[in-house]
């Protein structure tokens, strides 16, 4: 019965892509610093935002639906006083975008309070919910954070750090986590290292964030990436680490470099913008056509387009202009909204495109609806030829590690050949970067990264 009600078709709702931020010990400014940190991570989730703050006795949390600037104001931040804070921005798959799933989630235990912010997706959540449910657990949300909180409550280890260590060893899949208690901040990155997580320092106060752009935004120095399998405990004793069992194989998500992360972030030692330039250069080595200029689908295709233009020795021109005040197409909820979003977001510059043979670079093609409309926009602006080049391989497989790549039926490359996609989007030619080229451009050995949505080579058992 439980399977039908909570765990079956609703499984999808558990998956999200989020941004997390935490700070320990910066007096009364922690909520404001977290606010700015979340603002820098807004691209990772635009549907809800929340901040939890511990003053040493209580944890207060405030969260709401919308952008960080829509959820918080001066008086709310003033109320959130304390010395440890955790923040979360969330993108929800369709159907799960209610306030009940917004994070941080705060819980009262017999030993005190804790607030949880999670980025990723547990692939064994169904099994864990079933086991917990059989022991009498009830759930208010469909969030993985609540499952983790429940497991900690039922753990026989009575101090929170050893309970966290024990519980995270039972989790399978992708999780970067920040947990605050009344007197600690605990940051965890799963042993594959799917989702990024880094440590910074703000005038002696430790800061943890999904991406380095958030550290720099609040004026913190980057200290280091949190390692796959690392549990960082920050309290009055300082910063200490424990480790989960080590894996030979790791799985940093390459899609962070392709599209998800902000270009000014560094992830595991690689600058996202420079990787995107490399992806474009590599694409130019693999795929050439005669053309007058390179344009990009702004903004995420722009770095790759510049890289391509440099390698191919062709001019890069801003042929498409993005309205920066409309959310990402990828992040809107329904097909209808996605269809409308394209027109709201991108405008062609006829004076640049008219009469030209264009190579248009995009970072990826997911469903193909966006590409089709943009190719048409460029043609309608007088382009003689439109050649589409993609700085990543075809996305043929769903992601189970925290990214909403849709179900396989919606992924155009899972359904059509490259030439069929070319015809579908109406381009004169279509080239994708090869998987080998992607791995070479990123510069990690393939044992360190996840490429499953391109290759089908999943690192874990699937749900
Ligand atoms: S399947 Fe793709 S999107 Fe998901 S973690 Fe792996 S590389 Fe990233």
From the CA of 253, give the closest atom in ligand 1: 8
CA of 130 from ligand 1 middle (Å) equals: 26
Q: To test the ligand 1 pocket, which listed residue (195, 394, 450, 451) has its Cβ within 8 A of the most ligand atoms?
A: 450
Write down the residue that tokens 């001019």 correspond to.
315
Q: Which class would CATH give 256-455? A: alpha beta
Which residue owns the Cα nearest ligand 1 atom 2? 453
Greater confidence (263 vs 406) lies with 263
What is the reported pLDDT for 2?
A: 29
Tokens linked to 361: 């670079």
Which residues touch 46 (CB under 8 Å, ≥6 apart)? Answer: 66, 67, 89, 91, 327, 328, 331
Please work out whether the CB of residue 450 comes within 6 Å of at least one atom of ligand 1. yes
Query: Do the first three CATH levels of 2-247 and 256-455 match, i.e. the same topology?
Result: no
| pLDDT tens-digit readout, 203-222 | 999 999 999 999 999 999 99
Report how far residue 277's alpha carbon sits from residue 88's, in angstroms, rounded to the nearest whole number.
30
| pLDDT tens-digit readout, 330-372 | 455 556 665 555 555 788 999 999 999 999 999 999 888 888 9
Q: To test the ligand 1 pocket, which listed residue (249, 251, 452) has its Cβ within 8 A of the most ligand atoms?
A: 452
| pLDDT tens-digit readout, 131-145 | 999 999 999 998 899
Q: Give the pLDDT mean for 93-106.
A: 80
CB 85 within 8 A of CB 22: yes
Q: What is the DSSP letter of 19?
A: E
Q: Please tell me whether residue 174 adopts helix, strand or coil conformation.
A: strand
What is the reported pLDDT for 81?
A: 94
Which residue owns the Cα nearest ligand 1 atom 4? 399
Q: Which residues are catalytic?
A: 18
Long-range pairs for 96-100: beta carbons < 8 A, 24 or more residues apart: 96/12, 96/13, 96/14, 96/16, 96/142, 97/47, 97/48, 97/65, 97/333, 98/65, 99/48, 99/63, 99/64, 99/65, 100/140, 100/141
Average pLDDT value over all residues in the chain: 90
Q: To test the ligand 1 pocket, which listed residue (399, 449, 462) has its Cβ within 8 A of the most ligand atoms?
A: 399
Residue ranges of E strands in 25-68? 48-54, 59-65
Q: In which band, very low, low, confident or very high, does the pLDDT at 325 lie, cut at 50, 70 and 90? A: low
pTM for this entry = 0.90
Percent of residues, the chain, with pLDDT higher than 90: 78
Please work out whether the CB of residue 449 comes within 6 Å of at least one atom of ligand 1. no
CB 58 within 8 A of CB 115: no
Rounded to a whole number, what is the distance in angstroms from the first to the last CA of the chain?
19
Q: Give the pLDDT mean for 76-89.
A: 96
Report how far residue 78's alpha carbon sits from residue 75's, in angstroms, rounded to the nearest whole number.
5
What is the reported pLDDT for 5?
A: 29
HSE on the CB side for 155, CA within 13 Å? 23
| pLDDT tens-digit readout, 159-201 | 999 999 999 999 999 999 999 999 999 999 999 999 999 999 9
| pLDDT tens-digit readout, 123-133 | 999 999 999 99
Which residues touch 228 (CB under 8 Å, ≥6 apart)? Answer: 189, 190, 191, 192, 193, 247, 250, 252
Write down the residue that tokens 């329904």 correspond to.
334
What residue spans define the domains of the chain? Answer: 2-247, 256-455
Sign of CA dihedral 386, 392, 396, 397: negative
Cα distances (angstroms) measured from residue 286 to each of 302, 335, 393, 453: 18, 33, 12, 21
What is the reported pLDDT for 342?
A: 54
Please work out whether the CB of residue 254 comes within 6 Å of at least one atom of ligand 1. yes
CA-closest candidate to residue 109, choices 59, 67, 63, 144: 59
From the CA of 397, give the closest atom in ligand 1: 1
Q: Which class would CATH give 2-247? A: alpha beta
Report how far residue 327's alpha carbon sits from residue 68's, in angstroms, rounded to the nearest whole number.
13
Write down the residue that tokens 């999943």 correspond to.
458
């Amino acid at each position: 019965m439980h399977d039908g009600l909570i765990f079956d078709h609703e499984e999808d709702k558990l998956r999200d892509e989020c941004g997390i931020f935490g700070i320990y010990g910066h007096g009364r400014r922690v909520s404001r610093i977290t606010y700015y940190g979340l603002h820098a991570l807004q691209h990772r989730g635009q549907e809800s935002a929340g901040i939890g703050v511990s003053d040493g006795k209580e944890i207060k949390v405030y969260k709401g639906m919308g952008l960080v600037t829509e959820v918080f104001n001066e008086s709310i931040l003033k109320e959130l006083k304390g010395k440890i804070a955790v923040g979360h921005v969330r993108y929800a798959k369709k159907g799960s975008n209610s306030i009940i799933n917004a994070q941080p989630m705060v819980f009262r235990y017999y030993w005190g309070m804790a607030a949880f912010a999670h980025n990723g997706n547990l692939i064994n959540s169904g099994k864990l919910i079933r086991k917990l449910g059989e022991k009498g657990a009830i759930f208010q949300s469909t969030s993985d954070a609540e499952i983790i909180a429940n497991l900690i409550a039922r753990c026989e280890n009575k101090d929170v750090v050893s309970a966290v260590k024990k519980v995270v060893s039972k989790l399978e899949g992708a999780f970067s986590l920040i947990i605050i208690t009344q007197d600690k901040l605990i940051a965890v990155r799963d042993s594959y290292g799917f989702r990024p997580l880094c440590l910074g320092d703000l005038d002696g106060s430790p800061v943890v964030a999904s991406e380095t752009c958030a550290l720099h935004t609040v004026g913190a120095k980057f200290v280091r990436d949190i390692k796959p399998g690392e549990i960082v405990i920050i309290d009055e004793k300082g910063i200490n680490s424990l480790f989960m069992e080590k894996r030979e194989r790791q799985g940093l998500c390459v899609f962070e470099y392709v599209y998800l992360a902000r270009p000014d972030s560094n992830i595991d030692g690689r600058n996202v913008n420079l990787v995107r330039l490399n992806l474009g250069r590599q694409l130019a080595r693999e795929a050439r056509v005669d053309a007058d200029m390179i344009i990009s689908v702004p903004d995420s295709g722009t770095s790759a387009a510049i890289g391509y233009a440099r390698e191919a020795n062709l001019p890069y021109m801003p042929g498409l202009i993005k309205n920066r005040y409309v959310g990402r197409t990828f992040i809107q909820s329904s097909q209808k909204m996605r269809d409308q979003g394209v027109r709201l977001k991108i405008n062609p510059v006829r004076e640049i495109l008219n009469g030209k043979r264009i190579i248009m670079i995009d970072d990826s093609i997911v469903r193909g609806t966006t590409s089709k409309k943009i190719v048409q926009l460029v043609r309608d602006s007088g382009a003689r030829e439109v050649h589409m080049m993609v700085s990543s391989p075809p996305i043929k497989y769903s992601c189970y590690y925290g990214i909403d790549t849709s179900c396989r039926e919606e992924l155009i490359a899972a359904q059509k050949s490259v030439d069929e996609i070319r015809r579908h989007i109406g381009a004169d030619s279509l080239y994708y970067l090869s998987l080998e080229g992607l791995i070479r451009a990123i510069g990690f050995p393939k044992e360190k990264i996840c490429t499953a949505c391109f290759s089908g080579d999943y690192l874990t058992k699937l749900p």
